[in-house]
């Protein structure tokens, strides 16, 4: 939402030539402030009891990334596929939607950014709601229901977004970001449960970032190609297929670890 607001401000104060020449760099430079803020918060956090116990038992893996790939490849693959829908949905609702909305649907950039800023509030509201639900029924079950909701939303995407009418376009954005919040909220906790304590941070980070590469980097281009050649219905089907992959991966995953096994390659 902050990034969208900055781009909206730049769009209203700069012409297209100025924005393309240098204005687009400002949000990325300003993000350095958030990087240092995040670093400050991270340094202020204390370690969890489970990790402190792992340190006391000297369960410190020398090369954790190699250990994850060698000892937990199945968990890594299934964890990556479990997170892929979040990134596909995010980039469809942001990058692709903005590009299609300002071209095929003939919205001005400022108008469409305002719609996205309003819709992203639903994303912020459903994250804490998903946390409450996950505490009651479990993170894996919450993700299964969220993935099913994304599958259904994929079939509703074209009729809503393709209508070209502001209520329908906003409903598509709001619904998409809302179901994304339900999937994003419990995701980190759920991925962490796949790996033993000594490898939990690395395993979770690898799965999350691989999902971002596979799901996020291709989504806007694939969606634009599909929409240009086969219409928005194909984009909705693309989203539903991604969510189906996530749904199956969640079903195939092992249960969350109850306790850590000994790690023979610890220092």
* Domains of the chain listed by start with CATH number: 1-45 (no CATH), 63-252 (1.20.1250.20)
3-class DSSP state of 241: helix
pLDDT score of 9: 72
Q: 34: how many CB neighbours lie within 10 A of its CB?
A: 11
pLDDT given for residue 65 in this prediction: 87
- Is the torsion defined by CA of 164, 169, 170, 171 positive or negative? positive
At 61 the three-state DSSP class reads strand
212, pLDDT greater than 70:
yes
Per cent of the chain over pLDDT 90 is 58
Per-residue confidence at 103, pLDDT binned at 50, 70, 90?
Answer: very high
- pTM, full prediction: 0.81
pLDDT score of 265: 42
Nearest to 198 by CA among 60, 72, 57: 60
* pLDDT tens column, 42-83: 777 776 676 666 666 666 677 888 989 998 999 999 999 999
234-256, pLDDT tens digit by residue? 999 999 999 999 999 999 886 65
Say how far apart CA 267 and CA 261 lie, in whole Å: 15
> Mean of the per-residue pLDDT values for the chain?
86
pLDDT of residue 50: 67
- Whole-angstrom Cα distance, residue 157 to residue 162? 8
Could you tell me which residues are beta bridge partners of residue 266?
61
Model confidence at 215: pLDDT above 70:
yes
How far is residue 171's CA from residue 164's CA, in Å, rounded to a whole number? Answer: 11
Cα 128–chain centre separation:
15
Note the pLDDT of residue 180: 95
More confident residue, 213 or 36: 213
């Amino acid at each position: 939402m902050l990034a969208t607001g900055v781009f909206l401000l730049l769009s209203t104060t700069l012409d297209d030539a100025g924005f393309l020449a240098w204005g687009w760099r400002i949000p990325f430079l300003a993000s350095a402030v958030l990087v240092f803020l995040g670093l400050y918060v991270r340094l202020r956090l204390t370690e969890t009891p489970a990790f402190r116990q792992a340190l006391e038992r000297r369960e410190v893996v020398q090369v954790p990334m190699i250990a994850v790939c060698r000892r937990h490849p199945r968990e890594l693959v299934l964890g990556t596929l479990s997170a892929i829908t979040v990134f596909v949905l995010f980039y469809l609702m942001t990058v692709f939607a903005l590009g299609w909305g300002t071209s095929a649907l003939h919205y001005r950039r400022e108008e469409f950014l305002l719609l996205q800023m309003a819709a992203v509030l639903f994303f912020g509201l459903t994250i804490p709601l998903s946390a409450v639900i996950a505490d009651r029924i479990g993170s894996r079950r919450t993700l299964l229901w969220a993935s099913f909701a994304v599958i259904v939303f994929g079939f509703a995407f074209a009729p809503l977004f393709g209508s070209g009418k502001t209520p329908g376009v906003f409903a598509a954005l709001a619904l998409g970001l809302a179901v994304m919040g339900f999937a994003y909220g419990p995701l980190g906790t759920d991925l962490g449960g796949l790996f033993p304590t000594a490898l939990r941070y690395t395993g979770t980070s690898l799965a999350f970032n691989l999902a971002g590469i596979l799901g996020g980097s291709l989504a806007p281009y694939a969606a634009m190609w599909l929409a240009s050649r086969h219409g928005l219905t194909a984009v909705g089907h693309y989203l539903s297929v991604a969510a189906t992959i996530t749904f199956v991966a969640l079903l195939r995953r092992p249960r969350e670890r109850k306790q850590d096994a000994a790690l023979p390659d610890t220092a």
